[in-house]
Amino acid sequence: MELQHSAGFSGAIMEEYRYSEEDFILPGITWQTRREYAEDKRFLSDFDRALQSRWVGKMEKGLFRYPLWSLQTKILPGSVNYVAQLNVKRGIERRKPQDIKSIQQQYNPRQFNFNKIKPEEVVFQMVRSPAEKVSNGAEIHRSPNHTPALPSSSHNHPLVVINVSPLEFGHVLFIPDPSLCLAQILTSDLVQLGLESLLLSGHPGFRVGFNSLGGFASVNHLHLHGFYLDEELLIESAESKLLCPDIHFHLLHHFPAPGFFFYTDGKDLMSVSRRICRVTDYLVQRDIAHNVFMTRGNNPENRGCLESREGIRVFIWARQSCFGAKEESAFNVALCELAGHLPVKNEEDFSTLTEDSVISIVRSHLLSDEEFNVLSQELVEHLTK
């Protein structure tokens, strides 16, 4: 790993974060180990320190819409262990979401997009470097079989940008080259970048996610979310049903938000990224809104070690579409909420939410049982062709 400076976004000089598979942290630490460190930050990786120090610096410079250092957090009583956080400022001061009318809506340069952000909102560029020796002696290399689906700049030089309306500490956006003007439809290159970012982080609570159009995406310009949630979530070790053994494709059941997920040990990122997009492309083609959540997790095929975080789980939820400019109540049902993380916008709801009320709200945004069962069969057929 190394940081370099280069000319980049809007002609501004920006830092490059260069990395390789040598920098991936496998396996990840357990939550028990994380708790033993307490306030000691030595478990953080170079990536974490680079991202967090720059994020904090931009917070201190007032580049966000509101200050966010820590949030009032509680675990709702019940079997799901929902993590609720009070974030009043985000509900009041975030940019008004765009009026979305279709899951396949085209990019509109007249609306807000990431070509319009200030250069100082960029944290750094992510560069997965070809083979070379860097200053710390680590070898940086690219997989010889890598063939990007998009122009090389979209994979080699994606931006990490602060989310000026953060929902948690370290909230950033991963954006492919903004000049490509890509609509909010997931690509395998961006999925792979999200997975690599998880493996670069030493924190078990670093999460990456995606909201489709109709799935509460606020901006129709391709991006992922990344943030730190320093709380364990049930889905990291939740039981599942193996649907496609050869590709580790699972059904998430016995959970308030049934969905699907892929498990990877981190050694097949390109192939699993493409499989994830085979699913999301299938949903886009059928105008089914969806949300994606990536997190460290245990191997669902090894139920004897629930504490382990040796790999990554990538969850995909198909859901009912929500169109029009969004005016939310207690919380949206998007990537965080489906995963068990509830950013709540007002004190009344924060104080009165119960597990049952949350489950009721979440399920009102999901497919019917019949629709879900049909989709499950279709996806298995689609992935095993």
Give catalytic residue positions: 223
CB 214 within 8 A of CB 294: no
Integer Cα distance of 291 and 216 in angstroms: 9
CA atoms within 13 A on the CB side of 67: 6
Integer Cα distance of 129 and 12 in angstroms: 21
State the SS3 of 42-69.
Answer: CCCCHHHHHHHHHHHHHHHCCCCCCCCC
Integer Cα distance of 197 and 191 in angstroms: 10
Q: Nearest to residue 192, comparing CAs of 154, 163, 248?
A: 154
Count CB neighbours of 9 within 10 A. Answer: 22
Query: Which residues lie below 8 Å from residue 191, measured CB to CB, with a gap of 6+?
Result: 273, 276, 277, 292, 314
Integer Cα distance of 45 and 203 in angstroms: 8
Tell me the two tokens of residue 66: 């509101």
Query: Which residues lie below 8 Å from residue 15, measured CB to CB, with a gap of 6+?
Result: 3, 4, 5, 6, 54, 123, 124, 125
State whether residue 197 is helix, strand or coil.
Answer: helix
Q: Provide the residue count of the chain.
A: 385
Integer Cα distance of 172 and 177 in angstroms: 15
CA atoms within 13 A on the CB side of 343: 23
Count CB neighbours of 318 within 10 A. Answer: 25
The amino acid occupying position 166 is P
